[in-house]
Homo-oligomer: A and B are copies of this chain.
Amino acid sequence: MSSPRSLTREKWAFGATILSGKLIGLMVVLAVMFTLPGLLPGVAHAAAPAKPTEIETSMMNTMNTVWTLVAAFLVFGMQAGFVMLEAGFARKRETVNVLMECVFDTCLCGILFYAVGYAFMFGWGNGFIGWHGDPSLKATGSWFFLQNTPDTYGSTGIPVIAHWIFQYAFADTCSTIVSGAMIGRTSFRGDILYSIGITGFIYPIIGHWAWGPDGWLALMGSKGNFFESLGQGFRDFAGSTVVHTIGGIASLAGAIVLGPRLGRIFKRDDKEKGGMPPGHNMLVAAVGTFILWFGWYGFNPGSTLSAMDVQGIGRVATNTTLAACAGGMIAMMLGLWMGNTKGKFDLGFTLNGCLGGLVAITCPCYWVSPLGATLLGAVAGAVVFGAMYFIEWLRIDDPVGAVAVHGFCGIWGTLSLGLFASGQFGITGPAGADNSAPVTGLFYGGGWSVLEAQAIGTFTIAAAVFAVAGIMMFVIQKLPYPWKLRVEPHGETGDGGLDVFDHGTEVYPADEEEISLKGLFEKETVPVQA
């Protein structure tokens, strides 16, 4: 470089010109290097991640929003699967009731989750309930009816209005699960009342504990919170506990309060005549299971809320698949080797085994390896098998196995994270994964802390739901006719069953109608044939 000492004034002038040009050039270089790593060799391999430009950020947000919305649509599509599964496993006489409950719950949930649910669950507030915006942004207006919500949710870059529909589809799933174990003897007005409780209050408020921005289970292990020494919060990636256990345990509470359907004989009481009445349409139940499985590809991979985390979404999708496969196979084999279906390849157990695997993988899907997913899904298949016999042994009438599949496998899946978390994966984010603080389970040398956090979370939630939902169901049951939870006996046993009693129609009314119409036709067709 030239020595400034020897420069004349003119040269200084030159120098200034040069220097300013150089500085601008350097600024550009630095700016370009900063914003576009990969442009220059050396920078490309720098550890610091690139800072995206405004347009790039908006494109990332677009990709993540598209991912979230497509996932939301798939999760909503699960309703078609649920309605098929529940209707298929129901007796014919209660099928319209099942259909009507699923449709009604979906409508009710939309209105309530818009009015209060989203605010309770995803708003800031305290560890137990949310209702407003981020206090650190001084945004404390209440979120009821989606008022005062910011453009995007937290740091996700996803519009709140898109996050809402994704979470609505989850809430609706929980709501529909509850009807499962209560099929066939719940009065429709009772269904309306308990659905308001589950959808509007129990699910979003208890869900806040785990998924709210300041939920006490989410934060319990972090600095300044009540279980700081654990060093772990409760994790539930896509809702084994939050969606499935809440739904399954609330359903259990309902089934206990209701008692079994009239005419239901348990195996314990009569070895010969006892046992679950078979579903009236196994074709529909099987198709429903496939549609649920299909929708689960929105449920789990969509829960990243991030498409940029490409390894994450691929891994979650693959883990979801393997757990379902393993669960179905194990349940089929157990059905073949033992129990009432010994020697037969039982379709019902196999379907519920797949679903059990799916429920179980829902919590740990992001943090386990494909091998872990396969193993924990296989265990879920056994959990379903055992739990269905256990529920029957307890003389609880659960026509679709909702308690076994959603309640028990939800708990198992949540705990399994503490065992199988592979120590490779940390948290997802709008620009990609951050694996700098990976989650490690017991089997991978991570010790007991994750398992402990998971146990605290899932058992606390299960107990809370059982208590609150049980009280609610009990209170509804004490209401006077027609609002009490259980339908009048003649509503169950009359001609056409619950369907005709509460809904005025049978599910396949055509056969009789066909006959009456044929009479009309014959009169009319006489001249035609003449």
B262 and A521 contact, CB distance less than 8 A: yes
Of all chain B residues, the one with the shortest Cβ separation from A502 is B345
Is there a chain B Cβ closer than 8 Å to A314's Cβ?
A: yes
Annotate A91-120 by CB proximity to B: 1 below 8 A, 0 otherwise: 111011001101110111111001000000
Tell me whether A263 and B524 are in contact in the complex, defined as CB-CB below 8 angstroms, given that A69-B317, A280-B508 are known contacts: yes
Nearest-neighbour CB distance to chain B for A504, whole angstroms, equals: 4
Nearest-neighbour CB distance to chain B for A13, whole angstroms, equals: 3
Taking CB atoms, residues of chain B closer than 8 Å to A371 are 145
Q: At the interface with chain B, which of A20-28, A215-223, A403-411?
A: A20-28
Taking CB atoms, residues of chain B closer than 8 Å to A307 are 62, 65-66
Tell me whether A492 and B521 are in contact in the complex, defined as CB-CB below 8 angstroms, given that A65-B310, A80-B287, A318-B161 are known contacts: yes
- B-facing residues in A268-283 (Cβ within 8 Å): 277-283
Tell me whether A32 and B32 are in contact in the complex, defined as CB-CB below 8 angstroms, given that A59-B59, A83-B290, A263-B521 are known contacts: yes
Not counting A50-B53, A281-B508, a sample of 19 additional A-B residue pairs whose C-beta atoms are within 8 angstroms of each other reads: A3-B13, A37-B54, A65-B310, A76-B297, A93-B514, A99-B347, A100-B350, A103-B350, A104-B328, A159-B314, A165-B318, A263-B520, A280-B508, A281-B283, A341-B504, A346-B503, A489-B524, A490-B529, A493-B525
Nearest-neighbour CB distance to chain B for A186, whole angstroms, equals: 12
B6 and A80 contact, CB distance less than 8 A: no
A283 and B10 contact, CB distance less than 8 A: no
Nearest-neighbour CB distance to chain B for A290, whole angstroms, equals: 4
- What secondary structure prevails in chain A residues at the interface with B? helix
How far, in angstroms, from A57 to B59 measured CA to CA in the complex? 10
How far, in angstroms, from A106 to B324 measured CA to CA in the complex? 9
A36 and B35 contact, CB distance less than 8 A: yes
Q: At the interface with chain B, which of A38-46, A241-249, A446-454, A459-467?
A: A38-46
Is there a chain B Cβ closer than 8 Å to A471's Cβ?
A: no
B14 and A2 contact, CB distance less than 8 A: yes
B18 and A37 contact, CB distance less than 8 A: no
- B-facing residues in A513-530 (Cβ within 8 Å): 513-514, 517-518, 520-522, 524-525, 528-529
Most buried by B among A308, A346, A508, A529: A508
How far, in angstroms, from A225 to B474 measured CA to CA in the complex? 67
Is there a chain B Cβ closer than 8 Å to A198's Cβ?
A: no
A69 and B301 contact, CB distance less than 8 A: yes
Of all chain B residues, the one with the shortest Cβ separation from A40 is B31
Annotate A311-338 by CB proximity to B: 1 below 8 A, 0 otherwise: 1011101100110111011001000000
Number of interface residues of A (CB under 8 A): 168
How far, in angstroms, from A70 to B313 measured CA to CA in the complex? 11
Taking CB atoms, residues of chain B closer than 8 Å to A56 are 55-56, 59
How far, in angstroms, from A102 to B67 measured CA to CA in the complex? 29
Taking CB atoms, residues of chain B closer than 8 Å to A58 are 308, 432
Is there a chain B Cβ closer than 8 Å to A129's Cβ?
A: no
Which of B16, B67, B91, B282 makes the CB contact (< 8 A) with A99? Answer: B282
How far, in angstroms, from A109 to B289 measured CA to CA in the complex? 17
3 cross-chain pairs, A with B, having the tightest CB-CB distances, nearest first: A2-B13, A280-B510, A162-B314
Which of B13, B108, B314, B328 makes the CB contact (< 8 A) with A107? Answer: B328
Tell me whether A114 and B374 are in contact in the complex, defined as CB-CB below 8 angstroms, given that A53-B50, A347-B103 are known contacts: yes
How far, in angstroms, from A6 to B317 measured CA to CA in the complex? 71
B18 and A38 contact, CB distance less than 8 A: no
Nearest-neighbour CB distance to chain B for A11, whole angstroms, equals: 7
Of all chain B residues, the one with the shortest Cβ separation from A26 is B24
A294 and B18 contact, CB distance less than 8 A: no
Of all chain B residues, the one with the shortest Cβ separation from A281 is B508
Is there a chain B Cβ closer than 8 Å to A183's Cβ?
A: no
Nearest-neighbour CB distance to chain B for A280, whole angstroms, equals: 3
The 22 sampled A-B contact pairs (Cβ below 8 Å) are A3-B13, A14-B14, A35-B39, A38-B53, A59-B60, A73-B298, A76-B293, A87-B283, A91-B513, A92-B514, A102-B286, A103-B351, A110-B324, A111-B326, A111-B329, A114-B322, A162-B310, A281-B283, A346-B504, A348-B505, A493-B518, A493-B522
